[in-house]
Structure 1
Amino acid sequence: MNAHNEADRALKAKHRDMWALGDYPAVAAEVIPDLGAILVEACGVGRGDRVLDVAAGSGNAAIPAALAGASVVASDLTPELLEAGRVLAAKRGAEVEWRPADAEALPFADGEFDTVLSCVGVMFAPHHQAAADELVRVCRPGGTIGTLSWTPEGFIGQMLATMKPYAPAPPPGAQPPPLWGSEDHVRALFRDAVTDVAARRQMVTIDRFADPSAFRDYFKANYGPTVAVYRAIAGDPDRVAALDHALTELARRHLKDEEKAVMEWEYLLLTARKRA
């Protein structure tokens, strides 16, 4: 058991460090600023609700939930992201409690929250069942659980698949993040612990990149998983060039309008009620 615990601690430390690379708060604020508010609205968050944002990053969902009048705790494995969130929340006049926490072992009581949500966050916890069980555990009976996750077939799912051959092999038991974007997978994780599952695939329009190579360079500089993969192959110029080409081509294939360099990225928005 100790060896397992040690391995898990090392894996979590690696995840924590990866998300501190680059500038994820910039990605959340500049590329996908509206996703958190979409999830908050889908969950019906309102005044006086007790809300937990799991794998909250810099508060893309926590801040809109607080501005909707909820009492919000934002938890994340990476302290640097919570620090950035604290600054953003203060700027926007949102009151949020920021707590370092592992999505697979949340430091909260059973049934502590009315709504438990995660916006492109919990999907990156390596052990999906452990994370899903925690989302359910800390939600009160009859409360709402909501996730917004990139789909395997959508742009970010395809980007992660494109980077995978260049990345160090994941440890045994770690599952691919975009599985959270598959409705069947999430239903299987929650099993009969929830009712009233509502799931729909939607698109977010991305129009901030001048062209595919501008997208690639932005993600190489700012998105932790991409920064980490490039660091892993930094000593091999051929592999760097191959990944550069693969990411540029991926973006090119997803252009909706070459003239304007507009892309649409697919995500799964899923809400459910914890069985009373």
Structure 2
Amino acid sequence: MAAILVSAFKISPLVNILQREEHYFTLLQVLLAYNTAMYHRQSLKQQNSFYKEKVEPELYSVLKNCVHALFLKVAWGRKPDIEFCVSLLLLLNTKEVFKYLNTAISRTQDNCRRLESVVKIGLMYNKINGLFENAPKLQMLLIKCKWSKRFKSFKISHKDLLNLDFTSFRHNLITSKHATLDLVKEFCYDFNVDLQECLMSYLEFLITSWDPHIVVSKDAKGKEEGTVTNSEETLLKKCNDIVDILKMDDIDSLKILLSKLWTSINFYYYEMYSYINQLRQQLDKCFDFKIKTMLSFLKTYHRVR
């Protein structure tokens, strides 16, 4: 077998047939056997790559094409084999691997599942070789893939989400009806950002965006009155959970935010005014709650549209 393999001329017809019929795995085995024979024959020593200068250029080119074809078939399959794909990349030199990974990433921007597979392969390749050059980029792509799957209910494409900056990413999260305190915490942990800042933004959004659903009806005398059908209690529970965390770490910033919110919300929605002032009174015992009586008075009346 070795006697046959040491001659590129003798295996070229076999290579051509296997390549033409897309028997990539068999072709790879043939090329690996050929390279092993060449290694023993010439006593070459190089770790994790083929001797590009020693192996016939035509066969080396075929090997690269074979690796690329197999890589795509396995990495983009329904059940990608990450370890096998990494072993394929180890047959090439590092410069070629980085170039190929970048190409594969750019080609999978619109497919979260495929992109995630390519990124995981890149991270494992780096780990095996002790490389850190592109690790932060790959890690961030992996995190964005995770959150892209979380954002399936949003009307934003996977590709657009990948290109969002952090501020836009956070805005899409906290303004979603699916947002929860635990989800915001996980987001901050994954992106290594300040939890306090995110919670401040989340609290501000919850309070300023509350919009009571008012159903207008008429009484026996034909007078119109509005009834709020979506109670603020669920919203206020979310707000209280956030406030409990903020009070422990940065009570001064919370006070500033509440003062700002006082001038930002619509007075027609007096439930939020009442809530803000209750919080301000809790945080500052000297706070003069002059408006409390008026808000309590409004609470007993129906809104009129």
- Greater fraction of residues in strand: 1
- TM-score class, shorter-chain normalisation, is under 0.3
Larger radius of gyration: 2
TM-score by length of 1: 0.24
- Greater fraction of residues in helix: 2
Choose between structure 1 and 2 for higher RCO, CA contacts under 8 A separated by at least 6 residues: 1
